[in-house]
Amino acid sequence: MKKYRVTLTADERHHLTTLIAAGKAAAQKLAHARVLLKADQADGGPGWTDDRIAEAVEVSTDTVARVRQRFVEDGLDAALARKPQARPSRERKLDGWAEARLVALACSAPPDGRKRWTLTLLADRLVELEVVDSIGRGTVRQTLQKTTSSRG
């Protein structure tokens, strides 16, 4: 007997079949919908085993088990959607204030003896000004790239 038994209501079953028929959702969402339909044990549903579902839907048995668990514990929407990230993987180096300082610095005159600011010079100057403890050229580049200001 499965620990997480999927029993879909008629409305849920209809929603999933409509979602799959339309085919306009993310591939992962469609795969999870197929898993739930194959795992359904209510009212004569197929009630397939995890191995059989995994082979039919072309996902791993661990994925089938996770989808079952999330459906039982959190509901249909949680089982279909990606699991939200609890916190960012890495804290941001530059907040809004620090980004503003970087843009202002990039728009200012370059240091003596230089024709223009380089990413390394900007990164070093942000550390000198104690805006951040440390920062890489890549972060400076990405931050400047997303701003719409002209540094010319």
**pLDDT at site 152:** 56
Arithmetic mean of pLDDT, 53-57: 94
Distance CA 134, CA 123 (A): 8
Q: Comparing C-alpha atoms, which of 10, 2, 66 is closest to residue 35?
A: 66
Domain regions of the chain by residue span: 10-80, 96-145
**pLDDT at site 1:** 47
Average pLDDT along the chain: 90
pLDDT in tens, 57-67: 999 999 999 99
**pLDDT at site 148:** 66
**pLDDT at site 89:** 76
Instruction: Tell me what percent of the residues of the chain surpass a pLDDT of 90.
Output: 74
Cβ atoms within 10 Å of 69's Cβ, excluding its own: 15
Arithmetic mean of pLDDT, 110-121: 94
Q: How confident is the model at residue 2 (pLDDT cuts 50, 70, 90)?
A: low
Q: How confident is the model at residue 135 (pLDDT cuts 50, 70, 90)?
A: very high
Arithmetic mean of pLDDT, 129-138: 93
pLDDT in tens, 15-45: 999 999 998 999 999 999 999 999 998 877 7
3-state secondary structure of 146: helix
Q: What is the pTM of this model?
A: 0.59
pLDDT in tens, 78-110: 999 988 777 777 788 889 999 999 999 999 999
Distance CA 95, CA 143 (A): 10
**pLDDT at site 15:** 94
28 to 38, 89, 97, 134: CA distances (angstroms):
15, 22, 38, 38
Q: Comparing C-alpha atoms, which of 75, 78, 70, 83 is closest to residue 4?
A: 70
Q: Report CA torsion sign: 67, 72, 78, 83.
A: negative
3-state secondary structure of 79: helix
